[in-house]
Each structure stands twice: as C-alpha cells, then as structure tokens.
Amino acid sequence: MDDKLYIITGCTAVGKTEYAINFAMKNNAEIISCDSLLVYKHMNIGTAKPTPVEMRGIRHHCIDLVEPSEKFDVSMFIRAARMGIDSIISSGKNVVVVGGSGFYLKSFYYPIIDDIKVPQETDDFVNSIYAKSGLDGLIATLVAANDGICPSIDIKNSRRVISALKRCLASGKTFDNVRSDFVSLDSPFKQYQKYTIFLERDPEDLKRRVWERTKKMLDMGLINEVKFLLSKYVRLNDSAENAIGYRETINWLQSDMTQDALIKEIAQNTLKLVKKQKTWFKKQIPIDKKIVLR
C-alpha cells in the first residue's frame, strides 16, 4: 500500500468502469466512485451503474448513498469520499478513484467549497428576490452588496449570481474578498498524492460506443426504470430529473415519439456532453498519464 490516490477518469462511455476494476484487481485496491449520479439509489440503467457481476468482487464506495428525491451535493460527496478512503487505507489496500463528474473530480485537486454558512433566512431572502424581480433584481442587490461594483462573474448565469449574492450577504464581505478567501483554501484531499490516468479513444470509436450504450440501456429496461422512479417518488431532485437519459425518457413518456427517436435524442445529448467534457479535461485537472483504449 502507498499513500496515494490513483485517479482514473475520461469522457462518458470511454470505458472507465472496466479499466478501473481491472486496475483495482491488479493493485490490491478498492474503488471510490466519483460520479454525481451513481450516488442515487434505483437509478441503475440510465447511469450505467456497475452491476455486482461487473464489479467482480471489488468493493465500491460512494454508490447508492441517497434516494433520488433527496438533496446531494459536492460537500456531501467529499464527506462520503473521505470516509471511503479512510476505510480503504485502514484495511491495507490502495485507493482508486474513478469517474468523470467534473465538480466532484476537481475536489481532489483544488478547493471547491468555502466555509461560509448561509443562514436559512438569507437563502429565503435571495430566493424571494429572484422570484419577484428575476435576474435583474439579483444583479442589482449583488452590486449594492459590493460597494456599487459589479463582480467579475458570469452575470447571465442566474445560479452563479445567486450563489455569489448568498455568500456576500452571509459573510458581510464583497465578492472579491470572498473569492480571495476561497483561493487560499486547501483541497479537501490535500494530504494525498495523486496519480491521474486519463482514458481516451478514437473519436469515431467513442461515438460508436455512445450509440451502442444508449441502445443497450433501452434494451435493459431504461423506460421501465424511469416509470418506476416516477411512481415511487413524488418528485426527483433536479440533478436526477435532468440527467441525460432520464430527462429525455420523462419527456418521451409524455409524447408520441418512437423509441428510435428516444435513442437518437439520448445519444446526441450524450455526444454533446462528451464534447464539453473533452474541453473541460484539457483545462481543469492535472493529468499524469494518457492511455488510448482500443
């Protein structure tokens, strides 16, 4: 055992699961799943969650943690991942982190969340501004909280404006000061060395795999899985409901589209995600080794 996290990542459908399991078997390791959707119970087919047979006896952590109707965020993931890492190391095994969820993955290298606690009344206040006055109201309030200066953030992105405003109001600081404090923080996993393996494939091969995986999901019963989720829960949380595969199937159930049209929509949206992921990986995380799979 060595005090290192072996991080295996790459775009959707590249083959991370199979590669990571083989790697874990050869290196006396257990796996930390770094996937923002595998944390949800009952979401198995549309997330390509590894089955017990596929896991081949390798223990996986950070899978099936919460119901898809419940809140789950990066801070909760960090706590779960730390617990998993501690458990693996205490058992004398190596740690393999596998997944491609950008925000979760980035937490292994850099600070992701600050230590500002936003009171419920602040949360409610900001949400009420958005409900009454929309994005313009949020921006006006944010500028007022920043000494009349508009912070250098994407003000067209309501989610980022809401987050910035809540943190400014909760801390009593300008956004520049909030950001300066954040940059000085450590990664939640600073104490570990990281060795990052990036998996890739020929673009046409990856495209073929996306289409094949989409068709397989439908054959395995994705539609029935979505029907089950909609019947079991009053409402799925936003992350679950808007996940690729689930969002399209929910809309399909309310339409007269053919199943072939559903497959096409899921595959095309997955390929759009792959394109975004490729750009993200180039800029956001340090990579020690690239491996082209065939």
Q: How many CB atoms lie within 10 A of CB 248?
A: 25
Residue 34: per-residue pLDDT: 97
| DSSP bridge pairs for 60 | 31
Give the mean pLDDT of 266-292: 95
Kindly tell me if the per-residue pLDDT of 3 is higher than 90. no
pLDDT given at position 231: 97
If pLDDT is split at 50, 70 and 90, which confidence band does 155 have? confident
Separation CA 174–CA 114 (nearest Å) = 14
Contact 198, 291 (CB under 8 A): yes
Cβ density class 16-27: b for 16+ within 10 Å, e for less: bbebbbebbeee
Given CA atoms 169, 170, 173, 175 in this order, what sign does their dihedral have?
negative
> What's the predicted TM-score (pTM) here?
0.88
Q: Which whole number is the average pLDDT over 80-99?
A: 96
3-state secondary structure 69-102: CCCCCHHHHHHHHHHHHHHHHHCCCEEEEECCCH
**pLDDT per position as a tens digit, 201-219:** 999 999 999 999 999 999 9
CA atoms of 262 and 253, how far apart (whole Å): 10
Provide the pLDDT for residue 243: 97
Confidence tier at 64 by pLDDT (50, 70, 90): very high
SS3 221: coil
Single-letter amino acid, residue 3: D
Cα(20)–Cα(32) distance, rounded to whole angstroms? Answer: 10
Confidence band, pLDDT 50/70/90 cuts, at residue 105: very high
**Is residue 85 predicted with pLDDT exceeding 70?**
yes
* 39-62 mean pLDDT: 95
Residue 2 pLDDT more than 80? no
Does residue 1 have a pLDDT over 60? Answer: no
CB neighbour list of residue 23: distance below 8 Å, 6 or more residues apart: 6, 8, 29, 96, 197
Question: Which of 28-32, 179-183, 188-192, 273-277 shows the lowest mean pLDDT across its residues?
Answer: 179-183
Tell me the average pLDDT of the chain: 95
pLDDT tens for each residue of 111-138: 988 889 999 999 999 999 999 999 999 9
Alpha helices in the chain (DSSP H): 16-26, 52-55, 74-90, 102-106, 120-144, 158-171, 175-183, 203-220, 222-232, 238-241, 246-253, 259-284
Q: Cα–Cα distances in Å, from 141 out to 128, 165, 170?
A: 12, 8, 13
Distance CA 290, CA 294 (A): 13
